[in-house]
Structure 1
Amino acid sequence: MRTPAVAVLSALTLVALAACAPPAAPPPASSSPSASPPGLLKQTEDQIARTSASLRRLDDMPLYEMTYHGAYNAEAPLTDEELARRGDGWACSLFHRPGEFGRNFDWDPNPAMVIHSDPPDGYASLSVADVSYLFPPGAKPDLNAAQDRRRLAHAVLTPFDGMNEKGLAVGLAQAPDAELPARTPGRAVVSGVRIIRLMLDRAATVPEAIELMRRYDLDFTGGPQLHYLIADREGRSAVVEYADGRMNVIDDRYLTNITMTGADRATKLTDRRYRLLAEGAGTDAMKLLERVAQYHTRWSIVYDQESLTAEIVTAQRWKRVRDLRLSTGG
C-alpha cells in the first residue's frame, strides 16, 4: 500500500516517522569490522542479528523464546551498568548505484521530519532530520504550540540524509573511530549534520561536495564519530572518513559502520551488512534495505536521482511506502 506525501507546513513536511537519537558519546571503537563493544556478551554483528531475529513471544504470561548465538563471560557479575549498555549506535547501511541512493537509519524511536528546502542562494533539496535534537529529552512536539512549530523549523539545519535538485545525495553513518584534522585558524567549524546541509545547498557533484568539505572544520562533540557516503547523478560516489588526523576520500559505493580507511575489499566483506549490499546489485532498492535492516531500523529511504523523488518506509513497515517529491519555489 502506498500513501501520498503529507502536506507542506511552513516549508517542512512532517511525517509520522520514528528516527534515531544520537548517543551522548560515541561507543567504544571495535578492534575489527565484526567485533562488538566490550561487555558480558561476546558477539559478532551477525550473531547479534541472528539472536535478535530469534526472539518471539510464545504466550501471554508472557513467555518468550530466544536462541542465543555467540560467546559470553559466564563468570563476571551482571550489573546495572551492563544491563544498561546500549546496543548498536547509528548502525546505518547506505548504498549507491546509478540513479539510486538508499539508506537505513537505525536507532531509538523519536519523531523525525522530512524537509523541503529551496534557499534563495542554494539548490532545492529533500532531506530527513531527527527532531529530537530540537527539543529537551523526552519532549513530544505539539503542532498546536507556536513555540514548538518554531523549533521544528530549525530541522532544516540538521539533515541526516538528503538529495538536492542536481541529484547529489548524501548520508551519514557512525564510524568506529575518527581522528579529525587539527583546526585551521579562521576556518568555520560545523557539526557533523550541518555539513550535509552545506553540501545539499552548494554542491552539484561529488567533486564539488568533497571540495566543500575541505573548506570546513568538523566537530563531532556530543555525538558519535561519523563518515559519509556521497553520490551524484553522473554515477560517481565516494566515502569521506576522518582518520590519522586527515580527511580521507575512499572510492566506494557502500557504507556501514566499519573503518573504511586502509581496508581492502576482503576486509570490508567480512562485515555482514556491507557484504549483503555489495552482493545485492540486482535486488530492488527497498528490498535490499529490508535485507540489511536491523531490529532498530527506524527509517529506510531510496532517493531517485533522475526523477528527484524518494520512497520512504518507517519502522520497518515495508508494505507502507510513502512517496516524496523534491519541490522548488518554496
Structure 2
Amino acid sequence: MKKTLKRVMIGLLAAVILLAAGLGWMFRKEIQTLNSIQKVDDYGMYQIEYSADYGLDQLVASGGASSDSELVSYVAGNLLKGLPLKFNIPDFGCSTFQAQNEEGDWLFGRNYDLNYVPSMIVKSNPDHGYASIAVANISVLGYNEEKQPDSFLSSIMSLAAPYVMMDGLNEMGFSIGVLLIRGVEPTNQETDKLDLTTTSAMRWLLDKAATVEEAIGMLENMDMHASANASYHFQMADAQGDSAVIEYVDNQLRVIRKEDGEFQMLTNFLISEDVYGFGKGQDRYAILADTLQENNGILSEKNAMSLLEAVSQNKVNEETGTLTATQWSVVYNNTQKTAKIVAGGQFGNVIEVSLGQ
C-alpha cells in the first residue's frame, strides 16, 4: 500500500513538474517581457522590453475594435489570459511640435500633461512590424501611486502596455502624439472599414507606417472610435521632415499638412480652418510658435527640451481643484531613432533611449 501511494505521489509530482514546464514554455515570451521591467525614474516611470506577441495583426485581421470595451475584451482574452481589465483613460492636456537641429536631424517634441500617473517606456520589435519606442500611461491599466509594477505579480497588467501608448517613434523615423480636445463630440465613424480606437490606432500606425503619408493613407482606410467618450487630435512627423495634424470634425477626417516654410505645433484646440481655436492651450501654442519662428525652426535637442519645459504645466485646475502637471516630456530624434525623456518635470534627469540599443 505504501509503495502504491508513493508511486502515485511521484506520478502526481511528475505531472505537476511537466505541467509547470509546459506552461513555462508556453508563456516564456510573456515571462521574459515581465522580467524585463525596470524602474528608470523614482517619479514612477518604468521601461519594458516587449518580447511577446501583443496580437495587433490578429486584432486587425478580425476587423479591429469599435470601442474601448471591445479592445479590453480582446486584450484581456489574448494577452492577459482572461484576467479582468478595465481601461480608464483620463482627461489630459499636451503640447507637441516639430523642429530640426543644426545637423539636419528632424525632432519631435511632446509634453504629456495630467494629474499624477505612473508611466512606462515600451520598447517593442514585432515580427511583422517596425521596432518602436513608445511612452504609455499605465494608470489606464489600474496603476497609481500605491500600486506600481514592482513585482512579477503586480506587473502582469503591463502586458497590455502597448495598447495604452500616448506617443512614440518607430525605426523608420515616424512619430506620433495624441492630444485631448474638450467639448467636442467624440469621434465615432461607422462605415465598413477597419475599426480601431484612439490608442489601438496609434499602435497600428507606429507598427506599420514608415512616413506621415503612409499613416494618412492608413487613417483614410479605417474608422476611428474615440476612447473614453472624448475627442482627440494627433500630430505626426517623420524622418523626411514631413508633419501633419489629424483632426476629426463631425466624424470627418481632416488632414492639416505642414506647408513649405511653415512650422507645425499643437496643443489642445482645433486648428482646422472652420473651427480654429475651439479648445484650450492657446498660450502654450503661442510660445511654441514664437520660439520656432524666432529660431527659424532650428533647435538643438537640449533647446527642444527647454522649449518643452517652457510650456510644461504645474497648476491647480480651478474647476476641479486637481493639480495638472507635466507627467513626461520627450524629444524624439526621427533621424537618429532616439528619445530623450524626462519624467515628472525633472528636467535635470534625462533618460536616453535608442532603437539601436
TM-score normalised to the size of structure 2? 0.64
Q: Which residue of 2 aligns with 1:96?
A: 98
Secondary structure (helix, strand or coil) at the match of 1:92 reads strand
Q: Which residue of 1 aligns with 2:340?
A: 311
Q: Which residue of 2 aligns with 1:297?
A: 326
C-alpha separation between the residues in 1 aligned to 2:337 and 2:248? 30
Q: Which residue of 2 aligns with 1:69?
A: none
Secondary structure (helix, strand or coil) at the match of 1:119 reads coil
Query: 1:116, 1:327 within 8 Å by CA — same for their partners in 2?
Result: no
Match for residue 236 of structure 1 among 210, 221, 242: 242
The alpha-carbon distance between structure 1 residues 100 and 132, as it changes in their structure 2 partners (threshold 3 A), is same
* TM-superposed deviation, 1:137: 7.2
Query: 2:186, 2:229 within 8 Å by CA — same for their partners in 1?
Result: no
2:288 aligned with 1:277: yes
Q: Which residue of 1 aligns with 2:194?
A: 188
Match for residue 220 of structure 2 among 214, 217, 224: 214
* TM-superposed deviation, 1:142: 3.9
Larger RCO of the pair (alpha carbons < 8 Å, separation 6+): 1
TM-score normalised to the size of structure 1? 0.69
Letter in 1 for 2:253: M
* TM-superposed deviation, 1:141: 2.5
Structure 1 residues without counterparts, runs of 5 or longer: 1-7, 20-87
2:124 aligned with 1:117: yes
C-alpha separation between the residues in 1 aligned to 2:355 and 2:348? 22
Q: Which range moves more in the overlay, 161-170 or 190-199?
A: 190-199
Query: 1:14, 1:114 within 8 Å by CA — same for their partners in 2?
Result: no
C-alpha separation between the residues in 1 aligned to 2:247 and 2:281? 19
Per-residue deviation, residues 283-312 of structure 1 (Å, max 9, x unmatched):
510000011111111110000111111111
Query: 2:120, 2:135 within 8 Å by CA — same for their partners in 1?
Result: yes
Q: Which residue of 2 aligns with 1:163?
A: 169
The alpha-carbon distance between structure 1 residues 12 and 224, as it changes in their structure 2 partners (threshold 3 A), is farther
Which has the larger Rg?
A: 2
Letter in 1 for 2:92: W
Secondary structure (helix, strand or coil) at the match of 1:230 reads strand
Query: 1:178, 1:242 within 8 Å by CA — same for their partners in 2?
Result: no
Q: Which residue of 2 aligns with 1:74?
A: none
Letter in 2 for 1:314: A
Secondary structure (helix, strand or coil) at the match of 1:324 reads strand
Q: Which residue of 1 aligns with 2:256?
A: 250
Query: 1:303, 1:311 within 8 Å by CA — same for their partners in 2?
Result: yes
Structure 2 residues without counterparts, runs of 5 or longer: 1-32, 46-89, 101-105, 259-263, 315-324
Letter in 1 for 2:209: A
Per-residue deviation, residues 156-198 of structure 1 (Å, max 9, x unmatched):
122100000000010000123245364013x332221111111
Letter in 2 for 1:15: V
The alpha-carbon distance between structure 1 residues 316 and 250, as it changes in their structure 2 partners (threshold 3 A), is same
C-alpha separation between the residues in 1 aligned to 2:273 and 2:306? 30
Letter in 2 for 1:117: S
* TM-superposed deviation, 1:104: 0.5
Q: How many residue pairs were aligned?
A: 251
Per-residue deviation, residues 107-152 of structure 1 (Å, max 9, x unmatched):
0212110010000000000000011111277761243233x32211
The alpha-carbon distance between structure 1 residues 262 and 308, as it changes in their structure 2 partners (threshold 3 A), is same
The alpha-carbon distance between structure 1 residues 142 and 310, as it changes in their structure 2 partners (threshold 3 A), is closer
C-alpha separation between the residues in 1 aligned to 2:355 and 2:142? 26
The alpha-carbon distance between structure 1 residues 210 and 312, as it changes in their structure 2 partners (threshold 3 A), is same
Per-residue deviation, residues 8-27 of structure 1 (Å, max 9, x unmatched):
865656533558xxxxxxxx
Per-residue deviation, residues 53-87 of structure 1 (Å, max 9, x unmatched):
xxxxxxxxxxxxxxxxxxxxxxxxxxxxxxxxxxx
